[in-house]
A and B are shown apart, each in its own frame.
Chain A
Amino acid sequence: MALPSYASTGQRIWYYTFRVICGLIFFFLIAPIAVVIPLSFNSQDFFTFTKEMLSFDPAGYSLKHYRDFFSNPDWQDALWNSVKIAPTATLLSVSLGTLAAIGLSQPHVPARRAIMATLISPMIVPLIISAAGMYFFYSRIGLAGTYWGVVLAHAALGIPFVIITVTATLVGFDRSLTRAAANMGADPVTTFFRVQMPLILPGVISGALFAFITSFDEVVVVIFVGSAKQQTLPWQMFIGLREQISPTILAVATILVVISIALLTTVELLRRRSERLRGMSPG
């Protein structure tokens, strides 16, 4: 990768141009997210930088949008709804998903490909189609507009992520360990909780975090399946953006970015740990 000492002028120019191009693309990736954070401390109700902000005048900054977020009942209800829905949906998709992933990783599974394709499909089918179908079908069975309807829908959307991460961890799982446990008299349930689970736990947790963020960020399905009582944080943001009501959205966005950073860090640490456990180089 490093530029060799014999490189020609042309190669040198290209080497640095290429780095600049890459730098610009990284900038494109991160700038929109980075811009939101300082703007959320704006003391004016503007969506852009004011003169005071640019001159780093303390008067240009304030926490008023955060205060609004924590005192406005609309936003608080939305936050509370999100916090109620996401963990339940995550629990459902992780418990069912882990079980199925273990089943799928057995050596002889009939129609494995077809089953896998079915289980991954909620990730591939456009959200608007899932949302429409769920709205129609859940109305028929009386689940539309209820807490459990939204939880069920979100759990279905989170399942592909659990399946993908857990099966990926199980690929490196040494099956002789379960056989050894059985040999020493452990029943399948004990083997699962004492031997298999601790080893695949990093994959399960990453899957859980993916499922959680899927539910926590989801807006299309909840708009159609939920009612005003299940108005979640993303839903409230969507309304706010469409109708341009308040810059409180910026404060919410910043809080959500901080949450994503925390989740990302956890997943990365888990992934490295899992690879170290399997004797692979950290990467």
Chain B
Amino acid sequence: MSDMTDTGGPVLAADGTPLKRSLARALRRQKMRALMLIAPLLLFILISFILPVADMLYRSVQNGIVTETLPRSVVALADWDAKSGDLPSEAVFAAMAADLKEAAAAKTHTKVGTRLNYENPGISSLFRKTGRKAKKFDLENGGPWKEALIDINEGWGEPDNWRTIQTYSPPVTAGYFLNAVDMRVGPDGAEARPESEQIYMNLLKRTLWMSLTITVCCILLAYPVAWILANLPMRQANMLMILVLLPFWTSLLVRTSAWKILLQQQGVINDILVWIGLVDDSARLVIINNQFGTIVAMTHILLPFMILPMYSVMQTIPPTYLRAAKSLGATDWTAFWRVYFPQTVPGIGAGSILVFILAIGYYITPALVGGTKGTFISNQIAFHISSSLNWGLASALGAILLAVVLVLYWAYDKIVGIDNVKLG
């Protein structure tokens, strides 16, 4: 060491490079090696998971279909003032006739009709009916098109239909999102839908409310169980732990089918209630296909996710604290409430966020035991993907759900840290 300080220069590593640079290089190499190990998985997750989710988010605003199918009309309509109440000019009608002729030949006119029908119910028949005749349009001599089109279908004489086409002509739209929060684009910008058409906000509220109820039920049921697991001797606690872990490991569908069987009107619970005489045979309880069914089944399914984090927190609390509190004169309740309970709050927080995140996105259980009143927003998303085929709306609803979940995920990471998630 003294030799080096004598030279007055920088400290050198064995190969003659300055030590600082040598260390920095070693660190860089370490970082590179770590990243090389992680890279394959990151790439895999990117392709198999992140890109699909991004694709879904993109679909929630994508609206290329109108400009692609009706390119000329979109350009011609740009100058039309929707608020004037007048019909567009003859040039617009001629452009529409040309577009429709082309679209009908390519059979894309029904698609654009379906797309616009989401925003203006009834408009799809306008496109369908006109499309049938559009193939025979004589673009050179068929005019004037204003009269010709209105003659085919009166819908072309209504400025409201034209306004819909104009509003949804840009390639990117907020329409699906407005739809997902029960709004629509009116003549003066966004406006609320009539009350009879408002479904999604209520559904979102119901999803949040039911998830919250399930979380609270889980807290109430998990707390005593976690406490007894943390305080029993190791051997007994391990035995009881199996009762918690078995449901955790059992297939979700098995648990859901079990509840379906238990809760049916001719099911086990009703049979027992009738047998002990609490309920008359003719007045069996309806406890399935409603909110009650969903809440009971989901509380059971998510309970282990609450017990495990609570248990791992309670395990670290020394029992001597309670005894110390009592020896200082606290009653049982005070000792619990002022000394023990505050220390378990992190466990409650971790479990609650986890259960709430999982509950809010549930699909299978509500679909099977929820009937119509006990379904979640996920079920509506699934409906729009597989039945109504309104993928844009499904994506917008999914994006809203994803936003809620990501905020909670972020909070979970801040409070608990994702490194601390434990399984089993």
Contacts and interface: CB of A to CB of B under 8 A. Distances in A.
Given A36-B258, A152-B48, 12 more contacts: A1-B233, A26-B240, A29-B247, A30-B246, A33-B254, A35-B258, A100-B37, A103-B37, A130-B49, A238-B253, A256-B254, A263-B249
Q: Interface of chain A, helix or strand or loop or mixed?
A: helix
A214 B111 CA distance: 38
Interface stretch (B13-21, B147-155, B183-191, B378-386): B378-386
16 contacts: A25-B225, A26-B243, A32-B255, A47-B267, A99-B38, A100-B41, A106-B30, A121-B49, A136-B55, A152-B47, A159-B45, A213-B251, A220-B363, A253-B251, A256-B250, A264-B242
Interface stretch (B81-89, B129-137, B415-423): B415-423
Interface of B: 27, 30-31, 33-38, 40-42, 44-45, 47-56, 59, 221, 224-225, 228, 231-234, 238, 240, 242-247, 249-262, 264, 266-268, 271, 300, 303-304, 319, 332, 357, 360-364, 367-368, 378, 381-382, 385-386, 391, 394-395, 398, 401-402, 405, 409, 413, 418-419, 421-424
Q: Interface of chain B, helix or strand or loop or mixed?
A: helix
A97 B41 contact: yes
A100 B40 contact: yes
A49 to B, nearest CB: 7
Interface stretch (A64-72, A164-172, A178-186): A164-172
Given A22-B225, A22-B228, A224-B385, A241 B260 contact: yes
A170 B194 CA distance: 58
B50 A118 contact: yes
A230 B350 CA distance: 37
Contacts of B363: 126-128, 220
Given A108-B34, A109-B35, A130-B49, A264 B246 contact: yes
Contact of B41 (A119, A165, A257): A119
Nearest to B231: A1
A183 to B, nearest CB: 17
A234 B365 CA distance: 13
A110 B419 CA distance: 16
Which of B42, B253, B367 has its CB near the most chain A CB atoms (within 10 A)? B253
Q: Give the interface size bracket for A toward B.
A: 35 or more
A125 interface: yes
Contacts of B31: 108-110
B38 A109 contact: yes
In order of increasing CB-CB distance, the 5 nearest A-B pairs are A126-B361, A103-B37, A133-B52, A137-B52, A100-B41
A55 B48 CA distance: 54
A129 B398 contact: yes
A27 B102 CA distance: 67
B53 A129 contact: yes
Contact of A234 (B244, B251, B357): B251
A217 B385 contact: no
A281 B238 CA distance: 13
A99 B422 CA distance: 20
A85 interface: no
B353 to A, nearest CB: 10
Given A28-B300, A99-B41, A155-B48, A128 B381 contact: yes
B394 A36 contact: no
B266 to A, nearest CB: 6
A168 B418 CA distance: 12
A133 B56 contact: yes
B37 A264 contact: no
Interface in A6-22: 11, 14, 18-19, 21-22
A48 interface: yes
Contacts of B300: 28-29, 32
A113 B319 CA distance: 34
A199 interface: no
B42 A118 contact: yes
A123 B269 CA distance: 34
A29 B332 CA distance: 28
Contacts of B228: 18-19, 22
A204 interface: no
Contacts of A161: 423
Contacts of A119: 41-42, 45
Nearest to A115: B38
Contacts of A121: 49, 409
Nearest to B58: A136
A238 B254 CA distance: 10
Contacts of A21: 224
Given A32-B262, A109-B38, A115-B38, A241 B256 contact: yes
A52 interface: no
A122 B419 contact: no
Which of B234, B245, B249, B258 has its CB near the most chain A CB atoms (within 10 A)? B249
Contact of B391 (A122, A136, A219): A136
B41 A25 contact: no
Contacts of A237: 253, 257
Contacts of A116: 418-419
Contact of B35 (A18, A35, A110, A152): A110
A14 to B, nearest CB: 8
Nearest to B404: A126
Contacts of B319: 1
Contact of A48 (B225, B242, B254, B261): B261
Contacts of A140: 55
A117 to B, nearest CB: 6
